[in-house]
């Protein structure tokens, strides 16, 4: 005859079983998250296959129409936490995002640092990979300016080091010194990996060679790249990244919202984006958007998830779409864990080629 089990013993047994199930689930989640990571170039830094761009956090001009308030602050915080909860841990910011070098005002680096601190207070084990950038401003000369700017960024981020430090764009007055500064930052233990942004093939090779002489890999080149802006393919930058083992980080991967289907010729974006994605261009874009939508329906995916998956499928590409709120961050995560067919990838590229390319930013191809 079985002995009776007391309610307290059953309760203890149940608690232990629940804890064991949670531990196994947590371990499986950690393993899955590790599988979804890639090494950034030749560095030892591993990042999720998709990151989050924080350009709009604290912005008072390009994205938010000269207005930043508590509502947008809460939304950005929600985007950060939703990304972490969805397994996306790479966040890309810069010292010039938000306000110009954050002179007394809110700045993307400051906000990201705050979000990280608040999250770690609740969960000290949470992993966050931070990438930020040095601004090649006219008054900054030599290698020392890079390390000095990095230390200022670290203060805003409230961190002792960052995972990836990038030159935001090539200057025309001291690029060799800037590259030396990146190397110094690595040797001083202030960064785990270094990269560049908006570098053309020639500058990319020069930076790679200069760092290689110091035994430091050039981990990444961050450029504007999307289904409708494929200049990195056409200019040789993508091929050079693949050849040298440099990861291509794609900013504006959904063409600043133009590829999501949100905007139409009757409802174009406002602000500076409206001058790029005009009603005329959006009219030409409709056949491509219609096909993106159809393909997405076959996978139960949104147009945004399809175009992000298209980029990931190019290999050696890490898209970093900008998330303003939790809903966008969750949607971005849906681009992971599946893949378009080779035929669909080729079809979308062909359709996109029939659309006149959009104009990029002036810093590109310098």
Residue from 97, 165, 178, 229 carrying the catalytic annotation:
97
Burial label for 299, CB within 10 Å (0-12, 13-18, 19+), is middle
Residue 16 has a pLDDT of 57
H or E stretch covering 10 = helix 7-35
Beta strands 52-53 and 90-92: pairing type?
Answer: parallel
Phi and psi at residue 194, in whole multiples of 5°?
-130, 155
Token couple for 34: 């590790």
pLDDT of residue 287: 95
Q: Looking at residue 9, what is its pLDDT?
A: 52
In degrees, rounded to 5, the angle at the alpha carbon of residue 318 between the alpha carbons of residues 315 and 323 is 145
pLDDT at 34: 59
Whole-angstrom Cα distance, residue 119 to residue 128?
Answer: 10
Residue 97 known to be catalytic = yes
Coil/strand/helix, residue 28: helix
Q: Please give the pLDDT value at position 156.
A: 95
Q: Which of 122, 117, 125, 115 is nearest to 81 (CA)?
A: 115
- Which pLDDT tens digits describe the chain residue by residue (366 residues)? 544 555 555 455 555 554 454 444 444 444 455 567 999 999 999 999 999 999 989 876 776 556 778 898 999 999 999 999 999 999 999 999 976 544 445 799 999 999 999 999 999 999 999 999 999 998 898 899 999 999 999 999 999 999 999 999 998 776 789 999 999 999 999 999 999 999 999 999 999 999 999 999 999 999 999 999 999 999 999 999 999 999 999 999 999 999 999 998 888 888 788 888 888 989 999 999 999 999 999 999 999 999 999 999 999 999 999 999 999 999 999 999 999 999 999 999 999 998 865 555 444 333
What's the longest Cα–Cα distance across the chain?
88
Superfamily name and number for 41-258+314-337: NADP-dependent oxidoreductase domain (3.20.20.100)
Taken as a whole, the chain contains a residue count of 366
């Amino acid at each position: 005859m079985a002995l009776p089990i007391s309610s307290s013993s059953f309760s203890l047994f149940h608690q232990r079983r629940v804890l064991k199930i949670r531990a196994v689930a947590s371990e499986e989640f950690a393993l899955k998250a590790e599988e979804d990571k890639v090494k950034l170039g030749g560095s030892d830094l591993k990042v999720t296959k998709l990151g989050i761009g924080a350009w709009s956090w604290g912005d008072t001009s390009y994205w938010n129409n000269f207005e930043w308030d508590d509502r947008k602050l809460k939304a950005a915080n929600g985007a950060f936490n939703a990304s972490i909860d969805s397994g996306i841990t790479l966040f890309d910011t810069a010292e010039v995002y938000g306000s110009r070098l954050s002179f007394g005002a809110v700045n993307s680096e400051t906000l990201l640092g705050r979000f990280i601190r608040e999250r770690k207070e609740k969960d000290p084990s949470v992993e966050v990979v931070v990438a930020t950038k040095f601004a090649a401003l006219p008054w900054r000369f030599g290698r020392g300016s890079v390390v000095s700017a990095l230390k200022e960024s670290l203060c805003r981020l409230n961190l002792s080091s960052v995972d990836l430090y990038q030159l935001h764009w090539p200057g025309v007055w001291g690029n060799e010194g800037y590259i030396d500064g990146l190397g110094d930052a690595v040797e001083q233990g202030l960064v785990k990996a270094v990269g560049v942004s908006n570098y053309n093939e020639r500058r990319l090779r020069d930076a790679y060679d200069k760092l290689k002489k110091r035994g430091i890999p050039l981990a990444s080149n961050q450029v504007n790249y999307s289904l409708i802006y494929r200049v990195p393919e056409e200019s040789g930058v993508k091929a050079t990244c693949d050849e040298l083992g440099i990861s291509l980080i794609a900013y504006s991967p959904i063409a600043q919202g133009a590829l999501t289907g949100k905007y139409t010729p009757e409802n174009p974006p406002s602000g500076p984006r409206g001058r790029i994605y005009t009603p005329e261009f959006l009219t030409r874009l409709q056949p491509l958007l219609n096909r993106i939508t159809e393909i997405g329906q076959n996978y139960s995916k949104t147009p945004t998830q399809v175009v992000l998956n298209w980029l990931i499928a190019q290999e050696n590409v890490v898209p970093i779409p900008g998330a303003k709120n939790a809903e966008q961050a969750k949607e971005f995560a849906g681009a992971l864990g599946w893949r378009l067919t080779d035929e669909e990838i080729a079809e979308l590229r062909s359709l996109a080629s029939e659309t006149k390319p959009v104009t990029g930013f002036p810093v590109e191809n310098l």
